[in-house]
Chains A and B, each alone.
Chain A
Amino acid sequence: MSVIEVRSLNKLYRARVKEEGLGASFRALIKPVYKEVHAVKNISFTVDKGEILAFIGPNGAGKSTTIKMLTGILHPTSGEISVLGFDPVKQRKQLSYHIGTVFGQKSQLWFHLPPVDSFALLGAIYDIDKKTLKKREEELIECFELGDLIKTPVRKLSLGQRIRCEVAASLLHSPDILFLDEPTIGLDVVVKQKIRELILRMNRDQGTTIFLTSHDTGDVEQLCRRAIVIDHGEIILDQPVKKLKYDYLNRKIIAVRFNLEQHLDVPKGVVVEKSGKMGARLSVDTRVCSIDEAMRWIISQGGVADITVEDPPMEEIISTIFTGKNTAE
């Protein structure tokens, strides 16, 4: 059963353009010039109940604009949206009782107060009676391992602790759909992993549908079963993450630093992207050479001082998808 249905959705902005310099500023004052920015171009998709969908793309691709139209913040220029049977433009308030949102860059917690005070205010905003709120708070404190954090002023929490509290706050009213916009932005690897585990647990235990936008390929790989890739406002790919992984997320970047000068004779599936006397940046095709094999080979060279494994950046993946698409065409 679909909980989100989007048909032929478009969003156009009118942006002011100005040439460089003071003279141009005066000219723009008298005769402003505008250009139309097509932020979202005719996109259509559906999301099923209980699904974890990744909505990914580079900066400025149209991810946030889409999420803002789905939640009723922005009005579409044209097209149709139905979220849990509500029209976000006409029924924004009714819809808000059924959805939760976490915007990585925007906090709904009071900075100087402990989260428990913000929870009480949010409980009242969402018309949750005191008994239900108390019970829900206890569930979330346990699920998100908030413990003493709940009584610590937000300004004293680390970013990871704050995001855990943010996600918990967005779930107070037991929403059916949770929109997560870059929830792991700025977090370190360990905290990212923790947040991902909590999101998965919530989806599994409560059947919450998750709509996730992220820049982080790790979020997509570990959380989602399906991914929609958007770029320049258009959907360029909509497929299971398993296939996306095989086709596009099949490369890892290994940065290695040695204590001694090394001459690298790389195995099949490994390409040297950059090398110096004491280190190298290697690209590993995991379909040909597993990370396990690649690491063993590196260690066998001896004198390893430092090693890091990273996913390729999202921009590169999008570019690969485009190249593949264009070649196929």
Chain B
Amino acid sequence: MTIKNLDNRVLGWVKAAVFLIALLPLAKLAAAAYADDLGANPIEKITHVTGYWALTFLLITLAVTPLRRLSGWLWLMRLRRMLGLFAFFYAVLHFSTYLVLDQFFDWDAIDKDIVKRPYITIGFSAFILLIPLALTSNDAMIQRLGGKRWRALHSLIYPCAIAGVVHFCWLVKKDLTRPFMFAALLGLLLGLRMAYRFINSRKRKQAVHEIKQKTA
């Protein structure tokens, strides 16, 4: 076993640790709620915290592939599904907070919000886009869809992450510092992908070129 290739037993421990760490934000929120320490506007606080972590896990999920390439740690890929599902988990909490605590099933107001408020329209779209990804996050679905189609479907995470960041940018009253930090990180992660794609295609072309030269 090397740091690049963990054996299954060690990976199991790593996964369990990541699982517990990923639950910490929720545990902290629950503890604060229990201690009546969510501040003057608890519903706003819960909305912000769950939204923040949904976006954060979305970006962490998107960071897996570039990190694997940079570090060579292949096992990172095997954490990706769990991280993506945690993004979905916090997004579900975030949406439920809006639905239940914030609007209390006021469907009329919710309809109007989704149609009339661009930041809600785009945030809601991001949430909807996450659902098929969560539903197909298992080996059976990968087999049923086939790797190629599954990957095509899961490239929905890009528009989803962009929509999530735009949602954040559009909702703040004035101070854009935090949304812009998310935007910059997302830009970096997407930029790295474009760079890799460029490098890969150059390599491929070079290889084709060499083969042609050899056969000529």
A and B bound? no
- A-side interface residues toward B, CB under 8 Å? none
- B-side interface residues toward A, CB under 8 Å? none
